[in-house]
Structure 1
Amino acid sequence: MKLCHALASLIIAWLTVLGCIEAVTFEVKEGNSTCIKAELSASFSITYNTSNSTSTVQVALPDSATVDTGRSSCGTDGGSPWLVAVFGPGHTLGLSFSTNGSLYSIANLTLQYNLSDASIFPEANSSDVVTVVSASVGIWASINTTYRCVSPTTYRVGGATVTFSDMRLEAYMPGNDLSPTESVCMADRAGTTAPPTTAASTTTTAPPAPTPPGTPERGDYSVKNSNGTVCLLAQMGLQFNVSYVSKSQNKTVQDLVNLTPNLTISSGSCEASRATLVLTQEQTTRLSFTFTLNSTSSKYHLSGIALFANWSDMTAPFSASNTSLNYLRSTLGRSYMCNAEQTLVVEPTFSLNTFRLQVQPFGVTTSQFATAEECQMDQDQMLIPIIVGAALAGLVLIVLIAYLIGRKRSHAGYQTI
């Protein structure tokens, strides 16, 4: 029995890798309107306890899976949009979505599996229904575009993994069909093949190495409430560190690009416990910051960063986001300041460098920054000259004491006549 089950699991795994498992289509509707649509293949690798040890099974999402209409939602009641697919006796796959107005993303990936299903979990020592959740899996796209990722992509969810392939989905849909405009995942972009070469030999010159952009200019940005009062203030120099597929070099490159303040407009919103700053440069770059306030501790932090870029040398638009960050921590009623260069890692393909940064997303009362809480790097930089000065002062004192002692001893060797 164990051998048959192992063979079945191996076959499922290979079929998934080879793309032979058919994609399943799911739709979440509100009346006659579709708000979420997904076409995808999925397989699950789940480790569970048996009476003697542990066992790992491979499970494919069957084409008989359906949408759980009771738990799926378009989010019109103020909650998050949810797509919940059910299959087998008590197994579910859930995707919840969030948006900042310009991008949407999968905020949570939830897998629920029923260990009492002996056909999948033979000899399990429990009959529990296990639920595992992963936040911010890195699946996101621009609003009114379809997220597409044909390449198999695996995500860790608790003690299990979920592998998606042949994935096309869209949330917050304006119509009932997937948008023809696509936001392509990095795995598909990296797999772009080079155009065929002709038989004629040609001599090409490699493009020159890009010149480092230097320190970015510091910009002043703000967000206003509906009544026209400033509710968020920011001053900072920003530099993007992005990996993308280059048209000119026909390979993945890592590039440093500065945000230009006089070409950038700021927008956003302020709520009681959430504030957003969106910076848009010439319709080619859109960067958004999300700040979250903990009303219990009166502490706030930068919880999310999202970038959409469509630069001239890119083979496809670039997008990256992360909604589970914990940067720029400060206290309500104070601003956060860091003059030193900071690197805020968002995804493996995108990090943001900040220079001479000061920001206050909550508690702005006079259109000016409140008293600043300085970052640790600034405090350390101030501490270094103090330590050096103290050390020099101590050295001078030691030399002076040694001199006085030596002078006293030299006088003691003479007698008055």
Structure 2
Amino acid sequence: MTPTHPCVVGIACFAILGCVTVAQALVTLEVTEGNSTCIKAELSASFSITYDTANGTRTVMVPLPGSAVVGGASSCGGDGRSPWLVALFGDGHTLGLSFSSNNSLYSVSNLTLQYNLSDVTTFPEANSTDVVTVETTSVGMVARVNTTYRCISVSPVIVGGATVTFSNVKMEAYMTGDDLSPNESVCTADQNSPTAPLHPPSTTTAAPVPVPTPGTPNQGSYSVSNSNGTVCLLARMALQLNISHFSALQNKTIQEVVNLLPNQTTSSGSCDPSSATLVLTQGGTTNLSFLFTLNTTSNRYHLSGLSVVAAWSDMTAPFNTSNSSLDYLRGSLGRSYMCSSEQTLAVDQNFSLNTFQLQVQPFGLTRGQFAQAEECQLDQDNMLIPIVVGAALAGLVLIVLIAYLIGRKRRPAGYQTI
């Protein structure tokens, strides 16, 4: 990346002045084998990356430039290997997308971002010159086989301590022709856009129809280990997904509540000094990703990002959404966060997550065990109510007892003269 590139102007503006407008090019990338194209993507992307400096941390916004090229690690797959699209850009930066398919659907199964901190133009005053690699399996790009995945809307993906934001995406893997299929699988954000309706128009706008809730979910235990096998994140929680989507069976938008089943759910993720990711996957239908961020100045952490991908049988298209600007589950470094009460974590207008019997610690674990817990305000309030009621009852009993004793003392002794 040279200082005269228009995209770099956007980066400098963000890093120094706090601007958020970054020039984004529409990039076309193709992976070919022989004379055939197996992956084609037309997209814009930018990367919000936080890194350490001598004076704390700094966040830059790095665009995927129009000069990005397909790297040699890209592949159409085969012989047990997944198809890979690897884009090279700037001074040693790469974006990699790995694909998988179950014959009816294909998806981006892994997103890898690699950035070079020795690139002083992009990362001024960085403490390190390392090449940092972060990845996630919670991407949210799912389409039906032999269709083009389309998502014009802005779609952020949390990956480690960075956020990759896509827009204007048209992409297809496992292609049978040399160009994108005219048939499209449209992302949830575009379905809800007034400029890109997917479902037949209705004469009235109705609120999502709620469906019966499945009851309180079971608590599951989940963990993440770092590269040397040490547990770096622990979580115990019962989870319930609340999603509004268009029902193919009912031909209308419904509000569906589904419990995450611990015995069918696997956990994965990654841990960095100031960020930790927990990814929960239930079969091939549900993928839920949590991003925890640590403020190294205050030694406080919080849940800063949540994303979900759901491909339930009644959905007309896979549902995916994310939010990387949340502020939930706040705790202190070296302590776990606990909340037995039900909490609702709102992500956007179409998705919220209900939590029950939750305890989580994403940083400062010792010997793979939870540290002393900090209770949430809801639990403290629930404990305070019976204490207040008990104190009030005790006070009332005391008042009655005092009144009785005063009454006895004033009663005259012996017989009264008639």
TM range (shorter): 0.5 to 0.7
CA offset digits 1:327-371 (Å, max 9, x no partner)? 000000000000000000011100000000000011111222100
8 Å Cα contact 1:238-1:355 kept in structure 2: yes
Q: Could you state the TM-score of these two structures normalised by the residue count of structure 1?
A: 0.59
Question: 4+ residue stretches of structure 1 with deviation over 4 A?
Answer: 66-70, 142-147, 177-183, 412-415
Distance in 2 (alpha carbons) for counterparts of 1:323 and 1:225: 23
CA distance in 1, matches of 2:378, 2:233: 24
| Residue in structure 1 matched with residue 105 of structure 2 by the alignment | none
1:192 and 2:229 are equivalent in the alignment: no
TM-score (ref. length: structure 2): 0.59
Which amino acid in the other structure matches residue 405 of structure 1?
I
Structure 1 stretches lacking a partner, 5+ long: 1-23, 41-65, 81-97, 105-139, 154-165, 172-176, 196-207
1:407 aligns with 2:416: no
Asked if the contact 1:291–1:304 (Cα under 8 Å) also holds between the matched residues in 2, the reply is yes
Q: Take 1:142 and 1:393, find their aligned partners in 2: how far apart are those partners?
A: 61
Q: Show the counterpart of 1:260.
A: 261
Change (3 A) 1:352 1:247: same
CA distance in 1, matches of 2:213, 2:307: 23
Matching residue of 2:26: 26
Deviations 1:287-326 (A, max 9, x none): 0101001111110000110100000000000001001111
Cα distance in structure 2, aligned partners of 1:274 and 1:101: 13
**5+ residue gaps in structure 2?**
1-23, 33-38, 46-63, 69-88, 95-113, 118-132, 155-166, 173-177, 202-208
CA contact (8 A) 1:142 1:183 kept: no
- CA distance, structure 1, for counterparts of residue 138 and residue 28 of structure 2: 19
Change over 3 Å in CA distance of 1:260–1:384 after alignment to 2: same
2:326 equivalent in structure 1: 325
Q: Contact 1:149/1:188 (CA < 8 Å) preserved in 2?
A: no
Whether contact under 8 Å (1:189, 1:245) holds in the other structure is: no
Residue in 1 aligned with 2:285? 284
Offset at residue 266 of structure 1 (A):
0.6
- Aligned AA for 2:374? E
User: 1:209: Cα distance to partner?
Assistant: 8.2
- Distance in structure 1 (CA, Å) of the matches to 2:343 and 2:294: 22
User: CA 1:284–1:315 in 2, change beyond 3 Å: closer, same or farther?
Assistant: same
Query: Given that residues 141 and 183 in structure 1 are in contact (C-alpha distance below 8 angstroms), is that contact kept between their aligned partners in structure 2?
Result: no
Counterpart-to-counterpart distance in 1, 2:263 and 2:151: 36
1:168 CA drift (Å):
2.9
Q: Is 1:38 the equivalent of 2:43?
A: yes
How far the C-alpha of 1:36 sits from its partner, in A, is 7.6
Aligned length: 289
**Partner Cα distance (1:272, 1:178) in 2:** 43
Identity among equivalent positions (%) equals 56
RMSD: 4.3
The correspondence of residues 114-153 of structure 1 with structure 2, limited to 5 A, is 141=141, 148-149=150-151
Partner of 1:168: 169
Distance 1:269 1:99, change over 3 A: closer
Distance, in Å, in 2 between the alignment partners of 1:67 and 1:256 is 41
C-alpha displacement at 1:230, in angstroms?
Answer: 1.1
The aligned residue for residue 158 of structure 1 is none
CA contact (8 A) 1:146 1:178 kept: no
Is the Cα–Cα contact under 8 Å of residues 336 and 358 in structure 1 kept in the other structure? yes
Deviation at 1:192, TM superposition (A): 2.9
CA distance in structure 1 between the aligned counterparts of 2:44 and 2:280, rounded to whole angstroms: 32
| Structure 2 CA distance for partners of 1:146 and 1:261, relative to 1, 3 Å | same
